[in-house]
């Protein structure tokens, strides 16, 4: 399910106003940097797991090929 399909424009504006009130204008760039770093780390972790799965699959295929010879 797509999150933006559920949340409309008005809800997004209300959320942004609440964030602005809670954290103030000076803290928002810091929060966004932290969020960006978190997303980057998440993507790196996902890519690492995908690469590990591909390497393991390749090793298994190589082992099967060697056994058949």
**How many helices (H) and strands (E) in the chain?**
2, 0
Confidence at residue 16, expressed as pLDDT on a 0 to 100 scale = 86
Confidence at residue 1, expressed as pLDDT on a 0 to 100 scale = 46
Nearest in space to 39 (alpha carbons), one of 47, 27, 50: 47
Domain containing 45: what range? 3-68
Q: Answer whether 41's CB lies under 8 Å from 49's CB.
A: no
Confidence at residue 19, expressed as pLDDT on a 0 to 100 scale = 85
Confidence at residue 49, expressed as pLDDT on a 0 to 100 scale = 95
Confidence at residue 41, expressed as pLDDT on a 0 to 100 scale = 96
Confidence at residue 48, expressed as pLDDT on a 0 to 100 scale = 94
Domain count for the chain, please give it.
1
pTM of the model as a whole: 0.55
Residues of the chain with pLDDT under 50: 1
């Amino acid at each position: 399910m797509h999150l933006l399909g559920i949340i409309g424009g008005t809800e997004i504006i209300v959320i942004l106003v609440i964030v602005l009130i809670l954290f103030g204008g000076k803290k928002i760039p810091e929060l966004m940097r932290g969020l960006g770093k978190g997303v980057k780390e998440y993507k790196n972790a996902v890519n690492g797991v995908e690469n590990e799965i591909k390497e393991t699959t390749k090793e298994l295929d190589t082992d099967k090929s060697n056994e058949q010879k």
